[in-house]
Chain A
Amino acid sequence: MTVQIKPILSALRRHKAGTFLIAMQIALTLAIVCNALFIIQQRLAHLSEPTGLDEPNIFVVQNEWVGQATAEQVDAKMREDISVLRALPGVQDATPSNSYPLRGGGWDDGIKLKPEQLQDTSGAAIYFGDDHFIDTLGIKLVAGRNFRSEEITSMNVRDRLSPPVVIVTKALANKLFPSGDAVGKTIYLVGGPTTIIGVVELLQSQSVDRWAAGFAYRSVIVPKRLAISLGGWYIVRARPGQLDAAMRAAPKALFEHNPRRVINDEDGILSFSQVRSRAYERDRGMAILMGVICVVLLAITAAGIVGLTSFWVGQRRKQIGVRRALGATRQDILHYFMTENFLISCGGVVVGTLLAVAINLWLVTRFEMHRLSLVYVLAGVVILLLLGQGAVLAPAMRASRVPPVEATRSV
C-alpha cells in the first residue's frame, strides 16, 4: 500500500511552527550525537591501544628506601631485591627499572642522528633495564639481540646517560632509519653516541597524555640500573595464573629480606590492569560523560516528539474521524502519522548532517580533534530516524483508534 505524501505536506504547511521545532530539535540532536559518538570512539580507541606487554601477568612494585645510602649501597640492595623476587615460586622474571609504560611520565629524551644537529629527530621514552627486561615485560625482539648480562652497569642519577648500546622500539627505528636497517647504527642521546643492537616490536611510552602523543611507542631501553637513594620500580612477571599469589608474596618476601623500606599500601603494588585503568581514567570519564549526554539528549528529543505528536493527534481527532468514516483503515491513519514524522525527521537529519560537519570542523580548529568520519553521521541519522518512528508510534496508535463516529460529533 502506498501513502499519499502530498496531503501530509499540505497538512504540515498548516503547522509550520511545530514542524520546524521538531525538525530543528532532530537536527541539533543529530549534530551533537554524532560528534559525541565520534569523541567516544576516539577516546575508546585511545584507551585500548596496546602497550606491547604481557599485561595479564605483570605487576609493578614501587619501592622506597628509608635512610641515606650511597649509590653503590643502593645498587647492591636493589640487586638483592631482584634476586629475592626472581626466587619466588610464582614469579617468572623480574627487572628493576626507572619507570614502566602508562606510568604517566618519566625520563624522556631527544634522539639525534648527528651530534651537530640542532633539532632532535625524535623524542623517545627512556627505560632502564637489565638483560631480563625484555623477557619480564614479555615484549618481542624482532631484530638484533638482547643485552648481555656483562653489558648492564649501574648508574647514579647525577651521571650522564651515555650507554654504549641500546635497544629501540620498531616505531623509533622506523622513524630514525626508514629503510629498516637500524641494528648497528649509531644514534645520539643527550649524553652522547650509542649503538642500536636490537629492535623490539612494541613498547608504549610512559605517558599517554596528549603532550607525549608526538613520540608514542618510540622508546629506548638502556642497559642500566638506575640507583636512586629514594628508590625505584621493580617490574615483575608472574607465572600464568599466579598473579594474585605473586602480588601477595612479593612484598612479604621483600620486607623479610630488608625491612628498611616503604611500599605504599595504596599504590605501592599495582597489577598492570590497575595501571591501565589509572592511566586512562580521564579518557574513560569523558567517554562515559559523552555517552550519558547522548542518551539523555535522545530521550529528551523523543519526549518532545511524543508530546507534540500527541497534541497534533488531539487536534485532528475530527479529521481522523472523517477519514475513518470515508473508508480509511486504522492502518492508513497509523501510516499517515508515521510518514509525517518520517518526512519531518528527514528534513531534520539533512540540516543536522550539515550542522554535524560544521560543528566538527569547528572542533577540529579549536580542540585539535580529528575529522568526523561519515560512518558516525550515518549512524546518527539511522538512530534519529528510528527514534522518531519509535516516539511517534504511541500517539499514532492512539490516533488509529479514533472511532469513525468522531466525525459526526459537533462538526
Chain B
Amino acid sequence: MFAYYLDLAFRSLRRNTMLTALMVLAIAVGIGASMTTLTVTHLLSGDPLPGRSQHIFYPQVDPDPKRTDDKEPYDKLDYQSAVDLWSAHRADRQAIVVDSRLKLSDPASGAPPVMSMMLSTTSDFFPMFDVPFQYGGAWSAQDDVSRARVAVISADLNQKLFAGANSVGRTLRLRNSDVRIVGVLKPWRPSPQFYMVAGGRFANGDTSDYYSKTEDVITPFFTGLEINDGSFWQFTCWSLPARTGHLQDAPCVWLGLWVQLDNAAKVADYRRFVADYAAQQKALGRFTHAGNTRMRSLMEWLDFNGVVPSDVRLQTWLSFAFLTICLFNTVGLLLAKFLRRSGEIGVRRALGASRAAVFAQCMVESAVIGLIGGLFGLLLTLLGLWLVRQQPVAYADLARLDVPMFLLTFVLAVGTSVLAGVLPALRACRVAPAWQLKTL
C-alpha cells in the first residue's frame, strides 16, 4: 500500500511541477537557513569536554580591597592566590593558565621570527583536559617546579616549522630563550577555547573571539613567566603595577586556575577549602572581604560568560521564524494541491477508500515533498556553512556539518512537511464523495 501511495505521490507531484517546485523551494530555503544557524549554534554551545566537564571547576576569590561581598569576584586571580591554591594540591588535578604574545623562531633554520601566542600552564593541564599528543608527551610536575626550559607545540606550529615531522628533542627559540620540545599535540581545537574564557559579561555579546585557535606553544607556568617577563597583560588592576607586563607582585588579576574534582564530596571539600583560604587571607590582612568566593563548573562558567555570540543567537531565532513562514507557505500550497484533486479523491472514496487511507496518501505525499525539500535544504545548508566559513570570525573554521546535524536536516525537513500536511490532509479526507462525483 505504501509503495502505491508513493507512486501516487510522485504522479501527483509531476502533474503540477510549478506548485511542487514552490513547495520544495520553500522547505529547502527554510531548512537551509535554520540548519545553517542551528549547526553554528550547536558547534558554539556544545560541551568542549564531553564526559569530563562536570568534574572541571573554576575557583575564584576576590583580592581587590576596594570591592565588597555583594559583587561578583573578578574573572581571574592574582598571582599569590593562584599559586597558593595551586600549590596546595587539594584537587585531583589543578592547572594555572595564562597566555602571552612573544616572538618565536626555529634557531636551526634561521627563518625570521613570528609573533605567536604562548600558553603557560602547569603539567596537570594535559591530562585534565585530555589534550591529545602526536609525539612525545607533557612535561613532569618536577619540570614545573624547576622551571625547566621545555615546551609542547601545536600540530599547526609543528607543520609550519618542521613539516609535521617528529620534532621532540629539537630546540625552539622563545623570545631570547631556547627551550627543548618535549611534546607535539595532535590537532586540538576545543570549541570554545574554554580554558581562557573570562570577562564575557563585559563583552555585550561580542564573544566570537572565545572560539580562537589554541596557542602555538605551551610552556611550564613559571618558565613562561621568566621567558616572557614584561609581556603579560592584566585582566584588571585595582592600582597601578610598578612594572608593566610584570605582574607577580602587582595588585592585578591575570591568572586562571582550573581544578578537577572527581566526586561530589571532593567538590564540597574544595569549595570549603577556597572559602577557608579567602577567610585566612582576610585574617592575614591581605583580603578585605572573603564572602564572595565562587566555584563554577566548566559549563556553568561558560554559561556565566555567555560564550555564544549574540549575533549567532539572533540569527538562530531569525532562521526559525523563517522556517515558520516557510511552513505556513507550504500549508497553503498543500491545501491548494489536495483540494484541487477533490474529484479524484471523491472517486477513490466512492470506490471504497476509507478516510484514513486518503489521509495516509496525502501524508505520504507531504513527506515526499519534505524529503526532496530536505535534499535541496542540505545543499543550501552546505552553501550556508561555506558562507559562514568566509566570515571574518574566529569560529569560521569550525562551521562544518557533522553526522547528527546531517540527520537532523532530514528529520526537520520531513517533520516540517508532515506537520504542514496535516491540515490539508484532514480537509482532503473530509471531501464528500457524492458531491464531487456529481460535478465531475
Q: Mark A45-78, 1 if CB is under 8 A from B, else 0.
A: 0000000000000000000001010000000000
Which of B90-98, B219-227, B273-281, B325-333 forms part of the interface with chain A? B325-333
- Give the distance in Å from the alpha carbon of A266 to the alpha carbon of B349 in the complex: 72
Closest residue of chain A to B331, judged by CB?
Answer: A21
B22 proximal to A (CB < 8 A) = yes
Contacts of A311 in B (CB 8 A): 335-337, 339-340
Which of A25-33, A166-174, A245-253 forms part of the interface with chain B? A25-33
- Give the distance in Å from the alpha carbon of A42 to the alpha carbon of B364 in the complex: 45
Contacts of B311 in A (CB 8 A): 282, 286
Q: Is the CB of A303 within 8 A of B112?
A: no
Q: Is the CB of A210 within 8 A of B204?
A: yes
The answer to whether residues A21 and B335 also contact, given A32-B322, A410-B439 and a CB cut-off of 8 A, is yes
Which residues between 307 and 362 of chain B lie within 8 Å of chain A, taking CB atoms?
A: 310-311, 313-315, 318, 321-322, 324-326, 328-329, 331-333, 335-337, 339-340
Which residues between 198 and 245 of chain B lie within 8 Å of chain A, taking CB atoms?
A: 202-206, 230, 240, 243-245
The answer to whether residues A304 and B205 also contact, given A28-B324, A190-B240 and a CB cut-off of 8 A, is no
A209 proximal to B (CB < 8 A) = yes
Q: Mark A178-192, 1 if CB is under 8 A from B, else 0.
A: 000000000000110
Total CB contacts across the A-B interface at under 8 A: 116
Contact among A29, A66, A293, A300 for B318, CB-based, below 8 A: A293
Contact among B22, B206, B325 for A32, CB-based, below 8 A: B325
- Chain A contact residues: helix, strand, loop or mixed: helix
Q: Is the CB of B332 within 8 A of A18?
A: yes
B434 proximal to A (CB < 8 A) = no
Most chain A Cβ neighbours within 10 Å, of B176, B205, B423, B427: B205
| Size band of the interface chain B makes with A | 35 or more
Closest residue of chain A to B325, judged by CB?
Answer: A28
Q: Is the CB of B244 within 8 A of A307?
A: no
Q: Is the CB of B243 within 8 A of A25?
A: no
Q: Is the CB of A211 within 8 A of B203?
A: yes
Contact among B25, B322, B339 for A303, CB-based, below 8 A: B25
Closest residue of chain B to A288, judged by CB?
Answer: B387
Closest Cβ of chain A: how far from B245's Cβ, in Å?
Answer: 8
Q: Is the CB of B325 within 8 A of A211?
A: no
Contact among A25, A160, A285 for B329, CB-based, below 8 A: A25
Most chain A Cβ neighbours within 10 Å, of B202, B245, B332, B339: B332
- Give the distance in Å from the alpha carbon of A12 to the alpha carbon of B10 in the complex: 32
Contact among A24, A32, A262, A286 for B321, CB-based, below 8 A: A32
Q: Is the CB of A367 within 8 A of B112?
A: no
Q: Is the CB of A304 within 8 A of B391?
A: no
- Give the distance in Å from the alpha carbon of A363 to the alpha carbon of B321 in the complex: 13
Which residues between 254 and 313 of chain A lie within 8 Å of chain B, taking CB atoms?
A: 262, 278, 281-282, 285-286, 289, 293, 296-297, 300-301, 303-304, 306-308, 310-312
Q: Mark B76-120, 1 if CB is under 8 A from A, else 0.
A: 000000000000000000000000000000000000100000000
Contacts of A211 in B (CB 8 A): 202-204, 206
A118 proximal to B (CB < 8 A) = yes
A116 proximal to B (CB < 8 A) = no
Which residues between 391 and 436 of chain B lie within 8 Å of chain A, taking CB atoms?
A: 391-393, 423, 427
Contacts of B391 in A (CB 8 A): 282, 285
- Give the distance in Å from the alpha carbon of A410 to the alpha carbon of B339 in the complex: 19
Closest residue of chain B to A306, judged by CB?
Answer: B22
A158 proximal to B (CB < 8 A) = yes
Contacts of A25 in B (CB 8 A): 325, 328-329, 332
B66 proximal to A (CB < 8 A) = yes
B29 proximal to A (CB < 8 A) = yes
Contacts of A303 in B (CB 8 A): 22, 25-26, 329
A sample of 15 inter-chain contacts (CB < 8 A) reads: A18-B335, A25-B325, A32-B322, A68-B176, A158-B243, A160-B240, A210-B205, A278-B392, A282-B391, A296-B33, A296-B322, A300-B25, A303-B26, A311-B339, A314-B340
Q: Which 3 A-B pairs have the closest CB atoms?
A: A311-B336, A210-B204, A304-B329
Not counting A211-B202, A311-B335, a sample of 4 additional A-B residue pairs whose C-beta atoms are within 8 angstroms of each other reads: A25-B325, A282-B391, A300-B329, A368-B205
